[in-house]
Amino acid sequence: MTANGFLPVTREEMEARGITQPDFVYVTGDAYVDHPSFGHAIITRILEAHGYSVCILSQPDWKEEDSIRVFGCPRLGFLVSAGNMDSMVNHYFVSRKRRPSDAYTPGGEAGKRPDHATVVYCNLIRRVYRTVPVIIGGIEASLRRLAHYDYWSDSFKRSILLDSQADLISYGMGEKSIVEIADALNSGIAVKDLTFIPGTVYKTKDISGLYDYHILPSYEEMKADKKKYAESFMVQYSNTDPFNGKALAEGYPGGQYVVQNPPQAPLTMEEMDAVYALPYRRTYHPSYEEKGGVPAISEIKFSLISNRGCFGGCNFCALTFHQGRTVQVRSHESILEEAELIRKDPEFKGYIHDVGGPTANFRAPSCDKQLTQGVCKMRQCLFPKPCPNLKADHQDYLELLRSLRTLPGVKKVFIRSGIRFDYLLADKDDTFFRELVNYHISGQLKVAPEHISDAVLTRMGKPENAVYEKFRKKYKKLNEELGKNQFLVPYLMSSHPGSTLKEAVELAEYLRDLRYMPEQVQDFYPTPSTISTVMYYTEIDPRDGRPVYICKNPHEKAMQRALIQYRNPRNYDLVYEALTRAGRTDLIGFDKKCLIRPKSVPYNRVGAAVGAGKGTGRTKGKAEAKPTKKKTIRNVHKKK
């Protein structure tokens, strides 16, 4: 460790530690933030704890070969990650327009990493060091480990292992596999012979030694026939569990195969505790101070990660492929120790911003069998209905939150990561729900019903709308009982596979009845390795092989988005066209059920029809849209 406690990021810092040749150089598309919310911090600290020297090469200039020579050639290999986000998601909105800033770069500056960063960094390494082992990881490599659809180029791409010229992928979270890789390389095993490590993907021309495996359709077959890709994806999706998953082999021209080993085993509570007990500095490297630091730290500096993995199974989410469906948790003692570190931070004002993970209220595997037999291959825990074997119990999470609330100097403990409301309702004990409302909401609770049309929700893998309605009413009732005036913020998605203008109009009518207009709307974003992205590309639901309607036309996508914000005067023409196309001109008029007025009626700047009086059904301004103590509690929205 350097004098400032961070791992070396310059040659001077490396030499100050007496290192002449590092064991590993970790190349990342992010700024170096030594905090356990950042993948590069966890992997490098784990390697350090196992006796390996690691230098961090953050955001090298991919146009200059000398940028990769900073630390010389590492003894064991390069580790490469695009960063905490897929570099394409980091760079582009769903419209494919460039994002103006990057929260993972000093000062929020955009453009400090290349598109498809993992591939670009690895090819840079290969030009300079032709034989050194290169291991790739992180979410970009993890979700592109086999052939996949790339939304940004609208093309079907090979495994990232081939395009990057890397030797090995460490997919998923990687804590166990990276140590096995390091130990194997250190013992003198050639990287081409590392074919046996769980949680890795390798390339080979000889699969005769494989056993208990699936041969997937070849890349050429899938490229020629989208149905083959849909079939292949469901085989992949049903083999993401370390207990019952099999090895997968995907063929490429020239007799080459990309082979995915089953995932690494989930971390035990003790192993999770050990990961989060490593000596992180909990902030960005001090060299970034002159640029104002790294913006992403503000979101997580005073938050606590309590779990990983998710059995929620939303079809548009890649968590099944990356972290898996088995929930892994830290002990209360580990989390409370980290809370003590937060309390000692001079910038801490008494507010813990979050206690959670992918889904905050998951604190255990969904049923008893998962840690011995694995998750069900073809059955979801919560969709379409909660499984009879589901253990819906918030007692452990409740006790953790109570312990955190009583810490000296802690004024409030918020829950800002996702609450799975169907799991919450499945718990017959309301104690957690009541304490959530009473103690852990900062004025508004964010939940993700995503849509209200059951036809679309089925494609999303989400519970039917009646479940959300039950939750919404219960939330309202608890707020009234506790004398609270807190809001519910539903996240909604437009243009998801299966959503036509008909379903978009249904959602608009629902929002009309709630008298609520979101300030932001999320268009469906096709990212690699999700069921929804497979639907988008193939126009087939891979679960049943049936055709699915896909909204790909930018103008129709704009109409679906505009319907959710139909009160915005700027959306009038799009809403008018959408209602006309959908055959719903009955919603154009003066009746209170109407969404918009006829074109002959002018609107004022806040979106109300000029001269429109009582009973028009249109909110006249922001003040009337906000609930008061005398009114029914309604939703308001705050930007993400």
Task: Determine the pLDDT at residue 224.
Answer: 98
Q: How confident is the model at residue 4 (pLDDT cuts 50, 70, 90)?
A: confident
Task: Determine the pLDDT at residue 604.
Answer: 55
- pLDDT averaged over every residue in the chain: 93
Q: How confident is the model at residue 347 (pLDDT cuts 50, 70, 90)?
A: very high
How many percent of the chain have pLDDT more than 70? 93
Name beta bridge partners: 540.
Answer: 547
CA-closest candidate to residue 514, choices 493, 474, 487: 487
Residue 52 has pLDDT above 90, yes or no: yes
Q: How far is Cα 341 from Cα 361, in angstroms, rounded to an integer?
A: 23
Task: Determine the pLDDT at residue 602.
Answer: 61
Task: Determine the pLDDT at residue 622.
Answer: 34
SS3 at position 73:
coil
Average pLDDT rounded to a whole number, residues 69-91: 98
Average pLDDT rounded to a whole number, residues 275-290: 97
Residue 89 has pLDDT above 60, yes or no: yes
pTM of the model: 0.92
Residue 161 has pLDDT above 90, yes or no: yes
Task: Determine the pLDDT at residue 2.
Answer: 65
Residue 610 has pLDDT above 70, yes or no: no
Q: pLDDT tens digits, residue range 303-334?
A: 999 999 999 999 999 999 999 999 999 999 99
Q: How confident is the model at residue 371 (pLDDT cuts 50, 70, 90)?
A: confident
Residue 591 has pLDDT above 70, yes or no: yes
Q: Which helix (H) or strand (E) holds 425?
A: helix 421-426
Secondary structure of 9-64 as H, E, C letters: CCHHHHHHCCCCCCCEEEEECCCCEECCCCHHHHHHHHHHHCCCCEEEEECCCCCC
Q: How confident is the model at residue 76 (pLDDT cuts 50, 70, 90)?
A: very high
Task: Determine the pLDDT at residue 606.
Answer: 47
Average pLDDT rounded to a whole number, residues 201-219: 96
Q: At what angle do helices 395-405 and 332-344 cross, to 10 degrees?
A: 30
Q: How far is Cα 610 from Cα 616, in angstroms, rounded to an integer?
A: 11
Task: Determine the pLDDT at residue 599.
Answer: 86
Average pLDDT rounded to a whole number, residues 343-362: 96
Q: How far is Cα 467 from Cα 472, in angstroms, rounded to an integer?
A: 9
Task: Determine the pLDDT at residue 1.
Answer: 55
Phi-psi sector, 7: left (phi>0), alpha (psi -120 to 50), beta: beta
CA 284 to chain centre: 22
Flag the least confident range among 11-25, 145-159, 597-611: 597-611
Residue 636 has pLDDT above 90, yes or no: no
CA-closest candidate to residue 203, choices 194, 211, 212: 194
Long-range contacts formed by 150-154: CB under 8 A, 24+ apart: 150/88, 150/528, 151/88, 151/525, 151/526, 151/527, 151/533, 151/536, 152/88, 152/92, 152/96, 152/115
Q: pLDDT tens digits, residue range 552-570?
A: 999 999 999 999 999 999 9
For the beta carbon of residue 509, count every other beta carbon within 10 angstroms: 16
Residue 53 has pLDDT above 70, yes or no: yes
Burial class (CB in 10 A: 0-12, 13-18, 19+), 95: exposed
Contact 449, 493 (CB under 8 A): no
Q: Which helix (H) or strand (E) holds 260?
A: strand 256-260
Task: Determine the pLDDT at residue 603.
Answer: 57
How many percent of the chain have pLDDT more than 90? 89
Average pLDDT rounded to a whole number, residues 133-154: 98
Q: pLDDT tens digits, residue range 183-197?
A: 999 999 999 999 999
Residue 77 has pLDDT above 90, yes or no: yes
